[in-house]
């Protein structure tokens, strides 16, 4: 399948619990009713605990195109299920940050997003893994976990993207520094011992946290992980680092250690939870790896940040 128009069997799974999910389902149904997809099913899932089962069921039915509407956590769940299969992923950005959509230059307007599903092209992107668990954008340890814990559904629905800086400030005030050892199983870097840390992040994609960039060169299609660790430092250092969040130039700051690799093992003292695309779903010590060209996804014809360069599953 090289173009979205090649799809014959299409399944749509909508996370009604995402920020725009419940308010968008009726519009999504109307828009899809006018699409050329003849064999189409739509599931509205209000309980997020059911999402993995519903997605797995639809993928198991050997659909050509699985369309998922929700935030980055929902999209990562779907990517995990379609990875390495003949099923192509379509995305309706209905979350708060929509960082995966931003990286792929997907429109957030529902009419344009549905048009992309019909007229877009198919590319392949890398998938990150943390001890087997999938992430598309960034997995991280430290401050980001505190931010995620404070990003309640109510806060996100009330403030939208502004919920991120509000939650970050609250998490920063209560952050406890930690120590980490970065180990590189492939031998491409020497192990690194880092102390007094604010955060360790491992980026597979480019964007996270509502539009921040992992690094100036980070890509969903470069088959590499961008690993950076931020030392707690002084407040004035943090203000300079914050200034580099949007374009990723935070990695150039002297208080930030940055490397690219295909595999890294992170050991922390004490053991800490890991945030995967907004879901706390792992614990250190943990090994992070990249699965190259793992997911085929529909993007606009004009998208130039990713390409189709891997083999397709049969």
Catalytic residues: 279
Helix axes 163-173, 143-150, angle to 10 degrees: 120
Residue 230 CA to residue 311 CA, distance in Å, equals 37
CB proximity list for 277: less than 8 A, separation 6 or greater:
72, 73, 75, 76, 99, 100, 135, 136, 137, 138, 139, 208
Q: What are 72's strand-pairing partners?
A: none
Backbone phi and psi for residue 191, each to the nearest 5 degrees, phi listed first: -55, 150
Residue 5 CA to residue 129 CA, distance in Å, equals 30
If one counts every other C-beta atom within 10 angstroms of the C-beta of residue 175, the result is 17
CB proximity list for 302: less than 8 A, separation 6 or greater:
105
Cα dist. 26→19, 58, 114, 158 in Å? Answer: 15, 21, 13, 21
Q: What angle do CA 79, 266, 169 make, to 5 degrees?
A: 80
Residue 190 CA to residue 211 CA, distance in Å, equals 31
CB proximity list for 187: less than 8 A, separation 6 or greater:
none
Residue with tokens 């800086």: 165
């Amino acid at each position: 399948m090289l173009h979205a128009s090649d799809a014959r069997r299409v399944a749509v799974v909508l996370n009604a619990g995402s920020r725009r999910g419940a308010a968008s389902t009726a519009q999504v149904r109307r828009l899809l009713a006018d699409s050329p997809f003849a064999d189409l099913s739509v599931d509205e899932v209000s309980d997020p605990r059911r999402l993995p089962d519903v997605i797995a069921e639809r993928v198991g039915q050997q659909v050509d195109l699985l369309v998922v509407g929700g935030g980055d956590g929902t999209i990562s769940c779907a990517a995990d299920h379609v990875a390495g299969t003949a099923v192509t992923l379509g995305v309706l950005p209905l979350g708060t940050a929509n960082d995966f959509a931003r990286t792929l230059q997907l429109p957030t307007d529902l009419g344009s997003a549905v048009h992309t599903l019909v007229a877009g092209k198919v590319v392949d992107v890398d998938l990150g893994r943390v001890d087997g668990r999938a992430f598309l954008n960034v997995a991280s340890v430290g401050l980001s976990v505190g931010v995620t814990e404070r990003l309640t559904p109510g806060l996100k629905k009330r403030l939208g993207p502004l919920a991120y800086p509000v939650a970050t400030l609250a998490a920063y005030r209560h952050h406890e520094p930690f120590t980490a050892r970065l180990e590189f199983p492939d031998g491409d870097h020497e192990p690194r011992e880092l102390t007094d840390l604010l955060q360790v992040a491992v980026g597979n994609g480019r964007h996270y946290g509502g539009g921040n960039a992992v690094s100036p060169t980070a890509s969903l299609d470069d088959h590499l992980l961008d690993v950076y660790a931020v030392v707690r430092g002084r407040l004035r250092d943090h203000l300079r680092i914050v200034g580099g969040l949007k374009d990723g130039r935070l990695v150039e700051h002297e208080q930030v250690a940055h490397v690219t690799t295909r595999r890294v093992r992170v050991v922390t003292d004490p053991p800490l939870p890991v945030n995967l695309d907004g879901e706390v779903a792992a614990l250190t010590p943990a090994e992070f790896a990249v699965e190259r060209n793992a997911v085929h996804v529909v993007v606009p014809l004009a998208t130039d940040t990713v390409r189709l360069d891997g083999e397709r599953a049969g």
